Structure 1
């Protein structure tokens, strides 16, 4: 049951976050042929909330939805605090990595930005969801 739970919740989390990232990308950069990498309206600046929200939602939502399945149920404050810490760690590790990756790039096409954000968020959400739910399963 535990493997099925983790696989199902990770899949759901991936789909939901992919749709949110696609929507936010369309809102932020839709209609632009080229997107600047640097500056306030650039890709790296936009990755800050993307990483934070994906990590937070990938940890908190599946944990809260399945909270009652665990014995004893984890405290809501624990789930929220862990999600916040994971979100901050995601920003502190992935933004510098993306900065290094894009250091000599001035602009990206809209499709390049979309692929970058979709792949980054899929990697992030799957890892955070797996880690969060497995951590709750091993507490039992």
Structure 2
């Protein structure tokens, strides 16, 4: 992995993790026991937005460094597709993993959402910038 790719992935993970933490705090702060249904519903926009921002923002910032240069339309459509795919994979998987659990406390919600958001950002950002057969020029 090139230095640029490592840096962009690290920045994406950091920014998406901070946003994920902030929105999780807004949604569930002060709730003693977070219902699994509420958490699963919260994962829909979480997975969607982390994938969208983790794909679109770094790709737009670095699009002139990619060979061939990607169109803005392609970047936006690919980002939307990855966001939909992320939500379509993460939400059912979380539903299955949490089946039978009544609720989670605040710390458990963070232990679930923070690594999940980081993994989504890592996967989507690295895939988006690397692309199939594309090279990144520093």
TM-score range, shorter chain: over 0.9
1:105: which partner in 2?
101
- Offset at 1:70? 2.4
Structure 2 residue corresponding to 1:51, chosen from 36, 40, 47: 47
Normalising by structure 2, we get a TM-score of 0.93
> What do the CA deviations read for 1:37-75 (whole angstroms, capped 9, x no partner)?
11xxx1000000000000000000000000122244210
CA 1:20/1:30 → structure 2, altered by over 3 Å: closer, same or farther? same
How many residue pairs align between the two structures?
A: 136
1:54-69 equivalence runs, <5 A: 54-69=50-65
The DSSP-based 3-state class of the residue aligned with 1:67 is helix
Moved over 4 A (4+): none
1:11-30 equivalence runs, <5 A: 11-30=10-29
> What do the CA deviations read for 1:82-136 (whole angstroms, capped 9, x no partner)?
0000000011111110000000101100110111110111111100001011107
Q: Does 1:124 align with 2:123?
A: no
Asked if the contact 1:70–1:136 (Cα under 8 Å) also holds between the matched residues in 2, the reply is no
Normalising by structure 1, we get a TM-score of 0.92
CA distance in 2 between counterparts of 1:6 and 1:139 reads 10
Structure 2 portions without partners, runs of 5+:
none
1:88: which partner in 2?
84
Structure 1 portions without partners, runs of 5+:
none
For the aligned residue pairs, the C-alpha RMSD in angstroms reads 1.5
